[in-house]
Structure 1
Amino acid sequence: MRQAKQFIAIFFLVTVPALASVVAFNFYIDPYWMYGHSHSFNDHQVTVDEREQKTNQIFFQDFSYDTIILGSSRTTYINQNSFKGMKAYNYAVNNMSIREYDTFLKFAKENSDQKVRRVIIGMDFFKTSISESERPASLVNYEKKVHQPFYRIRSLMSLDLFKYSLRNFKMSKDNNVAELRVYDRSNVADAKVVSTEEAEKNTKEKIERFRDEFYGANYQYNPRYKEYLTIFKSRHTDVDFIIFTTPISAELFYAMVEEGHLDDYERWLRDIVDVFGGVYNFMYPNEVTLDLSNYFDGHHFYPHIGDRIAHRLLEGTDVQESSFGVYITKNNIDKHLREVKQLAK
């Protein structure tokens, strides 16, 4: 009996301080973005689960924005502070589907202290296939999490989260962006700069993956794509929409063309224009996409290109011709597509 009591006492003497240390360190670094405090040892944050991290930030911290940015991982590299005259929040996350737009925007609108007046969306061509756009997807499971009792406390006890805290601590202490997507405490993403050789290698691998997984024989343009966009827009008639296409590298664009999807690309742009009235098109061979140094893998651009996208969007629809980003409507889409087809040759 005495040995059992000693064992229990020793167990608690060891376990409780260890658990308390994990909880304290996870709170100090805050890798799930639940508390919002900022200091020099947590100002570099790796992506754990962007859907959960950004939803936590919106729900548990002060949130007052008039503009919401949506899109995939490509759009995460656009600095929300680059939209001068707007109070924008970048709610883009890895692999976002068009069928997620609705619940993401709804959640942001419900939690913002000011009225959300506009939404900026970066759209990706590879998300037009049936396999990438037909699967139902929403934010519901993440919304349920933030309402669970003791959710924040239980998360702080996680040893998996502790590993992310250690990575954040090291990067912050070294003041070094050591991964391909690293956030600061203001939801601004950065990426480590890779060598030319590594960028070329990454691009080659991405092209092969896209040929096989996204552009290959299994690709089929989703005939309901336009319908899903129409439904989404009809549910949010109180906001203005600013739509743009994400600028993949010319090499990846040419791979899409070589796989025989130029007609699908044209259909995609026409569907977007029909639903939203216009779109800023960045996805074609131009001065940015032809320069591989603007990408770390031919698929994701560096943040300075995100700044250029924001600048172009702020120029507005009157500037239809540009060296980077053409605003297309029903009036000029035929002309633009003829030019793109010529560039694709």
Structure 2
Amino acid sequence: MKLYKKWTTITLSLTAFALFTVAAINYVIDPYGIYHFSGHSYNYNKIIDSDPYRSKAFQVKKYQPEAIVLGTSRAMRLNPPSIESLTGENAYNIGLSAATPYIDFKYLEYALKVDKNLKTVYLGLDFEVFEKNYSTHANYDEQRLTSFLYTQDLFATLLSESALKDSRKVVMDNLNNTTKYTEHRYLGDGSFDETLVYPPNTNESTLHVMPTSFQLSSDSMLYIEKMKELCEQNDLSLYIYISPVHAIILETFWQNNLWNEYEDWKRQLVDIAPVWDFSGYHEISMSSLKKEGNYNDLSHFSKKMGDLMLYRMLNKEIDSVPSYFGVYITSDNIEEHLNNLRVNREQWSERDKNMFEVVASY
């Protein structure tokens, strides 16, 4: 009996030691950028397809920012250091690929629960994710945002075999200066890393997924209203803006006969709250994708543009912002604004052309 107890104790001790060792390795290397997002030589690049839905939930709890950015991957171009330099508030970007207004609302609820310093919210809006049948991103896990301690994430990132394998891949890639398994898509502040090299034909691929039909989701509009109410109830400043999508994308809305829906979306938004509209046919949105640095790719504006948007919304360094860039729209001026957009479209020489042919050389 004593021998049995001895071997049981040894087995349990060795198991505990092995689990502790695995967890320690995965914590230090942090292959998914969750626990400390360090920039050491052995783990600067993270595993490809790391889940920002998971890592950003961890990071906002850890950093306790005074300002957060919500929205889709386009919102990741609002730069937290720029926010801090303009307002004095430390910021974190919770922009998430294909995030719907419902997902934004749940992450805002979560941020209010775990972040006692929160003062300001920047909410980016994109027409496409307001479609009634727009799919919820596969990585969204609501339990992560409602559980006090989500053990599934802890196990998956610290104790699983796949995490240990990913840690090994991260170390190999970083020490060998290769990118077979890794990339550096996100910075430690949650924003997009503009040094990322896009795959060939990224712009053409974007055109292929542009909507050809659209039915506005009343639920999505409701969650915009709920976010406004949540900010009011918690004395948070809220800046709502529409992204400056490229004219090529706007033209797909026009050519796919979605312009009426696009305009109605804006009408319904300003019935909820005033909005900063950076979209439209203007010099920036009509600029070259390859030359001028206004866009990272067809779908995403650059951080340079993100800074101009912050200047406009915060009324800072206004002399740096083109007069046409950023219109504060309300229920009082929405019709005039929409008419101006239709008129401005006539200025673009590429309108009515095949956008696949245009984007190839733009």
What per-residue deviation string (whole Å, max 9, x for no partner) do you get for residues 234-285 of structure 1?
2332322101111222111101111111111111112221111x21112212
Equivalent residue, structure 1, for 2:43: 42
Residues 25, 97 of structure 1: alpha-carbon distance in 2 compared, 3 angstrom cutoff: same
1:4 corresponds to: none
Give the letter for the 2:46 counterpart: Q
Alpha-carbon distance between aligned partners in 1 of 2:170 and 2:285, rounded to the nearest angstrom? 32
Measured in 1, the distance between the counterparts of 2:177 and 2:342 equals 45
TM-score by length of 2: 0.74
Kindly report which structure 2 residues correspond to 1:216-255, keeping only aligned pairs within 5 A, or say none: 216-217=212-213, 219-237=214-232, 238-255=235-252
- CA shift, 1:162, in A, is 3.8
Whether 2:323 is the aligned partner of 1:327: answer no
Partners in 1 of 2:299 and 2:330 — Cα distance? 26
How far apart, CA to CA, are the structure 1 residues paired with 2:237 and 2:77?
Answer: 22
Query: For 1:264-283, what aligned pairs fall within 5 Å after superposition?
Result: 264-276=261-273, 278-283=274-279
Instruction: Give the drift of 1:95.
Output: 1.2
Residues 37/259 of structure 1: CA separation in 2 closer, same or farther (3 Å cut): closer
| Partner residue, 2:4 | none
CA distance in structure 1 between the partners assigned to 2:78 and 2:176 by the alignment? 24
Shift of 1:106: 1.5
CA contact (8 A) 2:74 2:300 kept: yes
CA contact (8 A) 1:253 1:284 kept: yes
User: What TM-score, normalized to structure 1?
Assistant: 0.78
Go from structure 1 to structure 2 and tell me whether the alpha carbon gap of 1:306 and 1:22 turns closer, same or farther (over 3 Å shift): farther
- One-letter identity of the residue aligned with 2:256: E
Name the counterpart of 1:27. 27
- The answer as to 2:101 corresponding to 1:91 is no
Residue 328 and residue 144 in structure 1: after superposition, are their counterparts in 2 closer, same or farther (change >3 A)? closer
For residue 304 of structure 1, what is the amino acid of its counterpart? K
2:92·2:189 contact (CA, 8 Å) conserved in 1? Answer: no
Question: In 2, are the aligned partners of 1:70 and 1:122 still within 8 Å (CA)?
Answer: yes
Q: CA RMSD in A?
A: 3.6
Q: Distance in 2 between matches of 1:205 and 1:58?
A: 32
Amino acid at match of 1:331: D
Mark the runs of 5 or more structure 2 residues left unpaired by the alignment.
1-11, 347-362
Identify which of 112, 125, 128 aligns with 2:127.
125
SS of 2:215 mapped into structure 1: coil
Instruction: Give the corresponding residue for 1:56.
Output: 58
- CA shift, 1:220, in A, is 1.5
Q: Does the CA contact (< 8 Å) of 1:56 and 1:146 recur in 2? A: no
The CA deviation at 1:223 is: 4.1
Q: Which moved more, 1:325-334 or 1:169-178?
A: 169-178
Q: Could you tell me the percent identity over the aligned residues?
A: 25
Q: Secondary structure at the match of 2:44?
A: coil
Q: Which deviates more, 41-50 or 80-89? A: 41-50
How far did 1:134 drift? 9.2
- Residues 343 and 167 (structure 1), Cα distance of their counterparts in 2 relative to 1, 3 Å cut: farther
